[in-house]
Structure 1
């Protein structure tokens, strides 16, 4: 499939005739006693905590408004409007879906719901003030409501960070049964286990009879057939079913399964087979009543790229100016502690395969390249890279610099010169690029970055395939918002020295 094409939500239904014939020989989902999945206890506690914060924030906003108007005594319109703010704000957030379980922890729907509540409150306050000729202060309409919305968004972000940490530790997770063909099921199981912060714990799998033995050996969870879905859900107390794209889970099967889940409270998720494409590129569009998944082309040019380039250079210039004393101190330390140049220059491959010279503070001995062949057998990497957790070529000062990523600061000069970006894929070596296949070569469609998804996800601890997958995900789903998020998380990754050696 080429980017920009419109595909079926479950791509296998494009061959509906073949799939329907296959389904006649596939065990159908049996009707069983319907399990009842209530709201998980953590969801209620999380919602109550958010409501408490929202009441507190609204109270602070109301007190601030009344504090700026000492004459707003009980009985005045401003006083009652401030009291109403405390009551109405949490109600509006519940009404817009900001407390729905599905928005907790991931996606932008939660923030959109808060934004809708803030916009609605602002519109209602302005309309009522004008229509009823009430003497409402600008501090309430123009000041308190926007500030309350912003404060709630910041509170939601902090709560989400806490929730993702809990999920990474195995708490506050949904219990998931994965359904589909063996290979697709194993890929989804592996993905969910790697990204535990998503809050989906795989407790069972249901696959075709031909795949059952293989999945049982690898998955490490109970495995049933396609007709065992509801029985496993009831036995294991699962609250979510994730269906992968495969002919055995085509339209007829999926429709039957969805009917049997009616009234159970069990969530049904469908993986469209486009796991690396997300965000604004995916849209559900109905055509004559048929729901189709529209996949927009990734954008590698346009005004956002112009903004990105301008911000890259501006931030790099400012960082070089602010960090100048630290850069000088590091340079002097490198020079006096080991013989050789201060900067290490290495050829890397950038945008559209163009070579450039990447700069780093030298962290190894002078003849590090000549020693590489002798050490290659000790590499712990599983792909094209060379990795050693304790590399004898690294100097004592270089080890400290690497742990804190200080050796990469000269790359700000590359960013200022335009050969690199602040955020992007890892800059590859020419030898790596020579062995790229077609899919990996997509990393070269954007500038390499000083940091990226690989930097905030484990750095040198990542296996080769995972590092490539993260780079490709960035290329496919780039946005200014994603860049800002990666930069924010890079600070934490550097401070914790995660995967740095």
Structure 2
């Protein structure tokens, strides 16, 4: 019988429990420092016990939404310190918002909450580091590893064994190698003995301790035939579908019709993540459409007065993986501006496929103000609600830009386009090279998380309010 590896946050349930304990210790320690023996104040104790429960729920939500434990075992100490600071700051902010929103700020001491944050950072950081040291030592020394036998062809043997030996987080020990296309019994490959050939392989398995078999490099027919024999012996069999490389950082095994396949992509999101992201889009777009309605009442008459013509500007843009959709903005340019673009191309400030001009003569009076504070983008909340766009993503190119794309440029279309994104919050007026924009977009897609989206949204609010980096 083979124990399937735990997935998702359940895999790091130990870190969740550890963090909760650390946060509660930090919270009650700060209470004692500020208030002394709070048992003498039973009413006050009830309030602080209630906040301790809220703290527990907040931490679970932060872990759930921000995926706080992704890659936690592979982080170095500096990376872990940054992760702990981020985690504790989010928890601190959430507790502060709760106290303010429930109008209990007069009950709770601000010093308690601030001291709690400081103690939590210290305790949580050292607790995580110590726990990771314990886990690694247990994995290396104290764990009973499964006994794995590698079955492969000679040309793949050294690479395969080396890959297993350099895996710090393996759950098994390679006890031997079987070379199926040559008799090399008695030799060693990367320090691992060659224990059998094709003819003696099953006999070796019969009389020796073997828990799992890894089949690498054989034809599909020979692998299936071998696996059937091994399964009858009660062994666990692993097939090599394809060797992982730097080009496949995300992968999962799944069914595709009648085939079992290894699926890889720039980023693989879970059903939960996709559901939450779409939920954020719907809620955000409803609020955004309310703001759009208010902006329409204020700016529509001015647009009509300064530049007679339609209030809204409609254009075909390119969405996820090349899909076309209707894109909406408040009109900030004179009617016929698209036809004038060719005449202005020699003044394009962008190095690449996008067009940008600081003092674009096509923009009329109020349009400059609307662009500075991104008011012209508000109608795109309708695109978000429809599902053509997301709140956060990559900016959708025009058809004219898209037809000029090189192969690597299409990577930025691997996700639903967004109303805001990495480029917008990275000072878009300062970025003149289209390749830099592509790099930012692919970086966003590869490292995407719900927490990243939330951070970009908050940074976008700052950019919009200050008008910094406006196009």
Which of the pair has more CA radius of gyration? Answer: 2
TM-score scaled by structure 2? 0.50
